[in-house]
Structures are given as structure tokens and as C-alpha cells.
Homo-oligomer: A and B are copies of this chain.
């Protein structure tokens, strides 16, 4: 019923509200949020209406209350733990990237088959042998995984993840994964994203590059 595009907008509203909040603002109007996120004010109100979020006629929305509701809907009230499989370029970049922690997403561990990548340094995110994935995921009740391995290994890694109990996957491998239907797979294909830009540059971009986002549930 609610689709991914809508959730992404909600997440953006949340981010915009955070900024406004830390700037000391107390209330917003739908058109402020619309500007901040790049959509129409109607869209903002429709999205909120879909989730039963109400503001005050003429008074806008109280930022704190609104943040609370969005955080609740988006599951941002408790920290989410994720694991990464693949300690290569992308996996390593994700581990070093500070943006996840800021949003309450904790990278609990990374798994690889290459012993040279193993790491137990205090303070760092541990990089462990792939064989330990299953136990780690079960012991820590992890439901989300990131696939950052070469495409050739991706399906196999997904199968391991699902067997371990993971239910949602962010997949960076440029390949179509097959999985049971009670599992969510969100694909991010970096090359494709860049190629899309190239297309619009080559073929007169005077047209709007309309909406973007690809996904796949499974």
C-alpha cells in the first residue's frame, strides 16, 4: 500500500525536520517542508494524511511532535543493527562512513572470506570470517544485511544471510537476486546511477529527469 517512494519522502521530511529543529524552529508549514525536500506542499500533506499525521489548521506542525511521529513510523526510536558482508571497496567505505551512526544505524560487524581483512581492533567495527555470520546474526538478532561482494558471490551470500535469519538486504552487487517473498531486497547499482546521468547529458537533458528510484522486493 505505501510504497518506497513515499517512505523515502518520509525519511527526507524527518531529516529536514532535524535540521529545522536544531536551528531552533518550533513549527513548520507543509510548504516549508516541501521546499526543503523538493516536493509540493500537497504531497507533504497527502503523505502525512496517509499515516494519520495531523497538524493544526493555520498553525502548521509542531516540529518536535512531528519528529516523534515520523521516528515512530520509521522505526528510528531504537537503534538498528546491520551486518555487512564483503570488506572490499564498498564494504570498507560503508564501515568508515559516519552517516549511518548519525541516523541510528549501527554496523555491528563485517564478514569476509579473506583472512587479510579480519580485524579485531578495539573501537573498530570487527571484520570476521564469513563462517561466523550465522551465529553472529542469530546471537545479535540482526535482521538487516548489506551485500558488498562481487556479483559472482552475491546470490550465495544472500542465501547465507536468509538462512541466518536476515529479512532485509541492501544489495550493491549489480545482479538480480532471487529470494523468498518474505524478504525485502533493495538494490543500489552505482554504475547504473552514473550511466543514467550520462544518458541525460548525451541526449539533450532539456527535459526533466523525472523521478528516480529502483527497487525490487522479493
Residue ranges of A at the interface with B (Cβ–Cβ < 8 Å): 1-5, 7-8, 10-12, 15, 36-38, 73-76, 80, 82, 89-90, 92-94, 96-97, 99-100, 102-103, 105, 143-144, 146, 167-170, 174, 176, 182-184, 186-188, 190-203, 205-217
- For A15, list chain B residues within 8 Å (CB): 174
Q: Which residues of B contact A182 (CB under 8 A)?
A: 205-206
**Which chain B positions have C-beta within 8 A of A184?**
197, 200-201, 205, 209
Q: Which of A184, A187, A203 has the most CB of B within 10 A?
A: A184
Known: A193-B188, A212-B215. A198 touches B4 (CB 8 A): no
Oligomeric state, in copies: 2
Report yes or no: A215 in contact with B206, Cβ–Cβ below 8 A: no
Interface of A is mostly: mixed
Question: In the complex, A2 Cα to B207 Cα: how many Å?
Answer: 8
